[in-house]
Structure 1
Amino acid sequence: MEVIDAGRFAPAPDGSADYAEHLRVPALSFGTYSIPAGQPDDQAPHKEDEVYAVVSGRGSFTSGGRTVEVGPGTSLFVPAGEDHRFHDVTEDLTVLVFFAPAYTGRG
């Protein structure tokens, strides 16, 4: 068993959004995504299905032509290849991210 403390906000050293992977096996990968308030989310579609679970913070999320407000407890599913992003981040976001199969990069 591995214990992972994934509930901390941890932006990149330059203060931008940051993804940190915590676990990888062939069937899935898991990490945290931190987006500082006011910063953009520059991600592109992924080759894998993705589930987000918002741990802390507030903002908006757009995927598949639909926009929703997000905050602690919000869970989101994004199918592989779908354009999506967080935006209008008003409070530093910490998001748990699950990829299936394991994340291989953008595209």
Structure 2
Amino acid sequence: MEIIDSGRFRPGGDGTADFAEHLTVPALSFGTYSIPAGATDGQSPHNEDEVYVVTRGRGSFTSGGRTVEVGPGTALFVPAREEHRFHDITEDLVALVFFAPAYSGVPAGPVTGTP
């Protein structure tokens, strides 16, 4: 067993968003995503389904043409290949991130609609 402290804020060394992967098995991967207040979430769509659970911070999230406010306890599902991003981060944000299957690191091809 490994205990992972998801509440620890770990932005990139240059003050940008940072993803840290903690577990990878073929069917699933898990990590934490930290975004400093005022920073930009520059991620691209990926080939895996994704679940975020915000554990700390506040901001907004847009996916599938819908925007919601997020804060501790917010859970979000993003289907594979859907454009999405956090934005308007007002408090340093940390989210648990689950990918299924495991995150490949390969960006999705052009988004053409429903898979």
Same fold (TM over 0.5): yes
Q: C-alpha distance in 2, partners of 1:26/1:61?
A: 28
Q: How does 1:8-87 map to 2 (within 5 A)?
A: 8-87=8-87
| Structure 1 residue ranges without an equivalent (≥5) | none
- Residue by residue over 1:52-77, the C-alpha shift from the partner in whole angstroms, topping out at 9 and shown as x without a partner, is 00000000000000000000000000
Q: C-alpha distance in 2, partners of 1:90/1:6?
A: 19
Q: CA-atom RMSD, angstroms?
A: 0.6
Identity of aligned residues (%): 77
Q: How many residues align?
A: 107
TM-score, normalized by length of structure 2?
Answer: 0.91
| Structure 2 residue ranges without an equivalent (≥5) | 109-115
Deviation beyond 3 Å, 4+ runs, structure 1: none
The aligned residue for residue 112 of structure 2 is none
Which one has the largest radius of gyration? 2
TM-score, normalized by length of structure 1?
Answer: 0.98
- Residue by residue over 1:84-105, the C-alpha shift from the partner in whole angstroms, topping out at 9 and shown as x without a partner, is 0000000000000000000002
